[in-house]
Structure 1
Amino acid sequence: MEAKEAGSSVESIIVSFNTRISELQELIIARNMYPGSAVADLTAVDAAVKAMELQVQSIKDRLREETLALPKAKKLIEASLKQQKKLQEMATHVPSHLTTKTMSSLPDSNHHLQSDSSKDDLSLLGSLKVEEEPVVVHKEKKGRGPPPLWYISGDELGSLSSYMRGRLTLEKVNAAINDMAAYAESTAQLISAPKKKLPENMWERALELRDIAMTEGVKGKHFFLESDIKGPSLKLDNTGKAILTVLRHLGRISETRVGHHRVIILSRPH
């Protein structure tokens, strides 16, 4: 039995060698049959494989760039949404008659602004470079610059009790804020005007306003007198008094008395 097994093992080895030799002979014959074309074909295959490898690497690089750009694109979208929200809030606070007047007087400006805005958006999307929006802290200027227009919002008006709010609307209250800013601007101009530019009958009033402007609690702030309230939107009637009460409650104005004058001061909202 052992002799038979050894013989069969030797025979299998011989068969394996013969098979391998036959394969090598076939390969040699095939190479000799097509010596030139075989090398050219292999070269073409090698070139095609290298080209595919370059394409795959290019795709990987592009995917890497897109992946790195995603956070920047997200920041750009967030900044755009934040700016849109601010503009919507500003639009709700501006009285409709003021908005209509401004829009009708600037028909071409809107077109240019929209065009410029579109170009800016495209350039931002192309570069995907987003900078953090700086936080602007508005400091109340001490009697310099135009009087502030701190309009109230619908939420603020809605937060008031029904008896205080009455029939007041957001448009009426914000229109009154426009009037108060105009009164304060007239007061500031009268205070700063030199004597030679004032009519004789206005000089005493200018001196009186200068004295009021230097009193404690008024100094460095925009103000006007109650006697200046003469419309067009704010008047000393029941509606006007209700508006003053609302604005005083919401922190837009404060009042003080200097001599026989009631002084109304424009205040920064809480």
Structure 2
Amino acid sequence: MEAAAAASPGSSSLEAVATAFRSRVNELQDLALARNMYPATAVTDLTTVDTSVTAMEAQVQAIRRRLQEELDAIPKAKKLVEKSLKQQQKLQHMLANMPPGMREDIVATPLEQSLMLPECFNFNTAVPEFLDSDFKIKEEPVAAPKKGKGSAPRWYISTEELDSLSSYMRGRLTLEKVNISINEVATYADANAHLVACPKKKLSEDTWEKALELRDIAATEAVKGKHFFLEADIKGPGLKLDHTGKAILTVLRHLGRVHETRIGHHRVFILSKQC
């Protein structure tokens, strides 16, 4: 009896394995019968399923690639948003501090008034390219502002900046007077940049000599690629070389709107870009 009891667990396990084996054999037989019932369509159905699965896998891969592209584009989009916000702040600063009624075309330099060259001095167009035939006199490359660089910067000061100055430096200067001067010196710089870029055939003999002189200045290391004007350009109406005008230039230097250097016998003022 004890031997039979000891053999009972082993026999029950063997019976369970045999039962599972028979069940699996029956399933395989049923599958074989089901497949043989429709032999003509079995292969076609399997091929269709395989094609569908392959197409789905390709779609999944395409979705993964697209998601990766979107993930890679997120840092670029963030940088673009940051630049847009900075540009918005600059424009808001300019709008908030621009004196009422002031426009870029109010102030015209004596050079612009004496030259009737609209295609050359149109500040809304790109700087024209140089022609080889226009540089037979000068062999050095000209370092005028590059094509598409835009007009000279107009970095107006704010009330807070003006109030931060010492009383002796500020004197009787007003925000409107200083910002009108900023607009005027930017117009001087625009006129010089376009004069440097104009071909010889569009300039008179006297103006061509001035253009050559400006090109020499524009080619120097301190001025290369920047907008500038000369002390000789300052002739009003908003900014003059009187006591008030000199005080305004001092304020602009102190606030970082212009940097001054001397090239030859010229006193050159270089305009700073807004940070």
Structure 2 gaps of 5+ residues are 1-86, 107-143
Partners of 1:94 and 1:219 lie apart in 2 by 29
Partners of 2:90 and 2:228 lie apart in 1 by 28
> Structure 1 pair 86/145, CA: closer, same or farther in 2 (3 Å)?
closer
Match of 1:266 among 258, 267, 271: 271
Partners of 2:185 and 2:249 lie apart in 1 by 10
Match of 1:184 among 186, 189, 214: 189
Query: Contact 1:250 / 1:269 at 8 angstroms: preserved in 2?
Result: no
Question: Which residue type is aligned with residue 95 of structure 1?
Answer: P
In the TM superposition, what are the counterparts of 1:231-270 in structure 2 within 5 Å?
A: 231-269=236-274
Query: Contact 2:151 / 2:190 at 8 angstroms: preserved in 1?
Result: yes
Match of 2:102 among 98, 102, 106: 98
Match of 1:161 among 161, 166, 185: 166
Partners of 2:196 and 2:151 lie apart in 1 by 14
Relative to the length of structure 2, the TM-score reads: 0.50
Relative to the length of structure 1, the TM-score reads: 0.51
Query: Contact 1:168 / 1:243 at 8 angstroms: preserved in 2?
Result: yes
Query: Contact 1:251 / 1:269 at 8 angstroms: preserved in 2?
Result: no
Partners of 1:251 and 1:207 lie apart in 2 by 29
Select the structure that is richer in helix: 1
What's the offset of the Cα at 1:226? 0.4
1:230 paired residue number? 235
What's the offset of the Cα at 1:246? 0.2
Work out the number of aligned pairs and report it: 151
> Structure 1 pair 87/226, CA: closer, same or farther in 2 (3 Å)?
closer
Match of 2:178 among 173, 182, 194: 173
What's the offset of the Cα at 1:90? 3.7
Question: Which residue type is aligned with residue 93 of structure 1?
Answer: N
> Structure 1 pair 85/253, CA: closer, same or farther in 2 (3 Å)?
closer
Q: Percent sequence identity over matched residues? A: 66
Q: Deviations over 1:73-110 (max 9, x none)?
A: xxxxxxxxxx99987644331111316x99xxxxxxxx
Query: Contact 1:226 / 1:263 at 8 angstroms: preserved in 2?
Result: yes
> Structure 1 pair 192/142, CA: closer, same or farther in 2 (3 Å)?
closer
Higher relative contact order (CA 8 A, sep 6+): 2
Partners of 1:167 and 1:159 lie apart in 2 by 14
Partners of 1:226 and 1:85 lie apart in 2 by 31
Partners of 2:205 and 2:88 lie apart in 1 by 51
What's the offset of the Cα at 1:202? 1.1
Structure 1 gaps of 5+ residues are 1-82, 103-140
> Structure 1 pair 87/215, CA: closer, same or farther in 2 (3 Å)?
closer
Match of 1:145 among 150, 171, 185: 150
Partners of 1:180 and 1:87 lie apart in 2 by 19
Query: Contact 2:90 / 2:274 at 8 angstroms: preserved in 1?
Result: no
- Which of 1 and 2 has greater Rg? 1
